[in-house]
Amino acid sequence: MILGISEDFTSKVVLDSQLKSIPSSGLYLNSGVHSSITLDNLLSFLPKLNFTFSAYDNQKTYSVFLDSMNREDIVEHDGKVYQSIQASSSADAKTPGVDTAYWLETNIESLRLKIFIEKVKQRVYSDLALTRRLINSQILSSDGENKRTLPNDYMGWVIEPKGSDYVSIRVNSMAIKKDGTAPVDVYVLNQGELIETIQLTPDNGRLTFRDTDLTFSGRGPFKLVVDSTETYVKPNTINPLKFNGFVAYTTIGDGADPASADYTYNTFDNGISIDVSVSLEPSNYIEKNLVNLSSYLRATFEYMVFETYLHNPNGRSNRDQRLQMNNDLLIAELKNTTADTTVVSRYHREKSRAIRAMEKTFDTQLNDTGKFRVKTSSF
């Protein structure tokens, strides 16, 4: 669990081990917040979940609940409730209560807290404009007139996210300017492994883009290479750092197969064109930058708890008996931005700090809260 809830001994509820263990971020959301935010109070205001879960089925495929947030990934077995923490299927059926790497024993109270924590994260995504969105779309275009065959076994492009693995790169279409119409295999490589092979059809020496269905993200450079062939090229060179969200080089390689070949990067044209879109993967960004965003996550949690106290949307508790503050005081905590000690002041202060932290990331486009820009590049 990235974010956790610390024990405060205000409730008899025993949380599951995922919430009680030390979170990977080191952040307990209810530590260092307003004194009215206790485990007992929080559970009293969150919605009551009375429904039952389906029985475990060893013929069914299960996903990780915290990824899917689907109640089908929570089961009952031998009178206990279990949460899927690792994907499994009928091909490798894992039994709740036995295969602890796949199933976590939990309870309704723990699930209610996890759902609320997920809502906190979604608020952070929204506040910081970190919903999945397009950063930009760029064309690495080659429309040369000079025929050339590279004296190597393979040639192509190297694309790598700029300093991060929290962007997703999609190759919308590709073109190879060469004679004939015989399909050409394009090998997609990452860290010495062949991860996919697609085909690209030339158009008798014309620059014709063909749609592809290729998306990748993760660490290390990704290579898109073909067997070395005669193409039409330009005498120009490229600037690998000119592209937004990623760096791009051309490459040539020698070896018995594309995965094991020895590649060198270069900046000269090779007759292959690519239309690339870059999108932000918000969940990866949050997880990679929790050190800088942890205080803001806690402030958002505190703010959302007080929203629940004020509006009591679930009709779960007699607020006057549980909280030592009237309606005016609750409103002040959520509306008074002039006092440094109110919940809303902490929330906005930490939001500003989070935005400043984002400005220090290498992928500077990630904190652009305006509309996305479209930029076309060629060489």
Same structural domain, 140 and 213: yes
Specify the pLDDT at position 157: 95
pLDDT in tens, 210-252: 999 898 887 788 999 999 999 999 887 888 877 877 889 999 9
**Nearest-angstrom CA–CA distance, 310 and 298:** 19
- 152 part of a folded domain: yes
Q: Above 50 in pLDDT, residue 106?
A: yes
* pLDDT above 70: residue 2: no
What pLDDT is recorded for position 379? Answer: 37
Domain that holds residue 346: 3-129+288-358
In a domain, 379, yes or no: no
At 167-209, the pLDDT tens digits run 788 899 999 999 999 999 999 999 889 999 999 999 999 999 9
Which amino acid would we find at residue 153?
D
Question: pLDDT: is 256 or 286 the higher one?
Answer: 256
The reply to whether 121 and 138 lie within a common domain is no
- Same domain? For 101 and 181 the reply is no
Residue-wise pLDDT tens digits, 51-79: 789 999 999 999 999 989 999 999 999 99
- b/e map of 304-317 (b: 16 or more CB within 10 Å)? bbbbbbbeeeeeeb
Give yes or no: residues 7 and 106 share one domain: yes
* Mean pLDDT, rounded, for 98-117: 93
| Residues 276 and 138 occupy one common structural domain | yes
Share of the chain above pLDDT 70, in %: 89
Q: How far is CA 88 from CA 64, 73, 91, 209, in A?
A: 9, 10, 8, 39
> What is the structure's pLDDT at 164?
63
- In-domain check, residue 158: yes
In a domain, 311, yes or no: yes
pLDDT at 220: 81
Report helix, strand and coil shares of the chain as percent, to nearest 5: 25, 30, 45
Domain co-membership, 140 together with 255: yes
Counting the structural domains of the chain, the total is 2
> Which residues, 6+ apart, have CB-to-CB distance to 158 below 8 Å?
221, 222, 223, 248, 249, 250, 251, 263, 265
Q: Are residues 43 and 157 in the same domain?
A: no
Query: Per the domain annotation, does 255 fall within a domain?
Result: yes
125 with 138, same domain: the answer is no
Determine, yes or no, domain membership for 323: yes
pLDDT value, residue 126: 83
Q: Is it the case that residue 280 has pLDDT exceeding 80? A: no
pLDDT in tens, 137-176: 788 877 889 999 878 999 999 998 875 667 788 899 999 9
Are 233 and 150 found together in one domain?
Answer: yes
Q: Would residue 99 count as lying in a domain?
A: yes
Tell me how far apart the alpha carbons of residues 287 and 293 are, in angstroms, rounded to a whole number.
Answer: 9
Q: Are strands 134-141 and 377-378 parallel, antiparallel or unpaired?
A: parallel
* 56 shares its domain with 138: no
Classify burial at 366, counting beta carbons within 10 Å of its beta carbon; exposed 0-12, middle 13-18, buried 19 or more: buried
Q: Confidence band (pLDDT; 50, 70, 90) for 373?
A: very low
Question: What are 59's two structure tokens?
Answer: 């013929």
Number of CB atoms found within 10 A of residue 50's CB:
6
Task: Tell me the pLDDT of the chain averaged across its residues.
Answer: 85
